Amino acid sequence: MKTDHKFFIFSTVSFFFIYLIGMFMNVAIIAVIYLDHHLHTPMYLFLWNLSLVDICYTTVTIPKLLHILLSGNNEISFTQCFIQMYFFFMVDTAEVTVLFIMAYDRYAAICHPLDYHQMLNKKICILLMMAIWTGGSVNSSFITSSILKIIFCSSVTIHQFFCDAKALVNISCGGTEVFYIVLYAECLVFGLLSVVCNLMSYVKIIRVVLHIKSKDGRIKAFSTCSSHLTVMAIYYGSAISVYMTPPSDRYDLLEQILTMFYTTVVPMLNPLIYSLRNKEIKSYLRKLLL
């Protein structure tokens, strides 16, 4: 058996199981939160949304990739490419928004416990859920429309496993001015500003937690934030690694590996992190399995 054929089989099986595990874990979290009425709180509502976003994340990229690997046909039309890119940016924006809202949720719960249910009442939670998906759709429209103005060269080969904006820009001949303006605005709002706001929330949380006299109280307060902090660090760390990789042939393979981790492995890790570190979810999962 040739090495290329072995690698092909390994890649296909790996992506299939990554998709399967990610889907199973995220669907399990959605089911647990839906079935257990004790988990019908703002924190778990936003976790429910995160799992839904992660399902969409992998569904946008992996099924098409598996089709390419199994069929051997690696062609994709411009229409399919831009549709895939639109939904990818939509769920990417939704992920950033959910992580930001989850940071605000922890800030409200720890820093303003008496006003928590007023700050995140049912009406506000519904509006935040609408903002997650509406904002994702609108923002994706801006990015995709800016890419439509790009002029492509004779080469239409994308050195990536899905239709990524950075890969398309690498084969462009001009018309990237609008795209770069939108890109810098995106980096400012959904990158720098989002990270700064999240960090400010946790600075205030840490200040409040350190003033808790009870050691058990401090541990409990920190434990409610640890899962979100871990998910946030992995997500932003992998995203920065992808988009900070220099656009060069020397780094094509590295960029593809980082992008695979960012778009397929991270959405699979999120439910694992939350389920392993959350007593309520682990308890209900045991009841379902036993």
pTM: 0.86
Q: Taking the mean position of all CA atoms in its chain, how far away is CA 173?
A: 31
pLDDT of residue 52: 92
- The whole-angstrom separation of Cα 31 and Cα 197 is 31
CA distance 29 to 33: 6
| CA–CA distances in Å: residue 243 to residues 62, 208, 237 | 20, 35, 10
- CA-closest candidate to residue 25, choices 68, 66, 57: 57
Q: Determine contact, residues 27/244, Cβ cutoff 8 Å.
A: no
Give me the pLDDT at residue 91, please: 92
Phi, psi torsion values for 164, nearest 5 degrees: -105, 140
- What string of pLDDT tens digits covers the 290 residues of the chain? 344 566 667 778 888 888 898 888 888 888 888 888 888 888 889 989 999 999 998 898 888 888 877 877 777 777 888 888 899 889 989 999 999 999 899 889 888 888 888 889 989 999 999 999 999 999 999 888 888 887 777 666 666 667 777 777 777 777 778 888 888 888 888 888 888 888 888 888 888 888 877 777 777 777 777 888 888 888 888 777 777 766 655 656 676 777 777 778 888 888 878 776 677 777 766 766 66
The CB density around residue 138, as the number of other CB atoms within 10 Å, is 11
Report the DSSP beta bridge partners of residue 151: 174
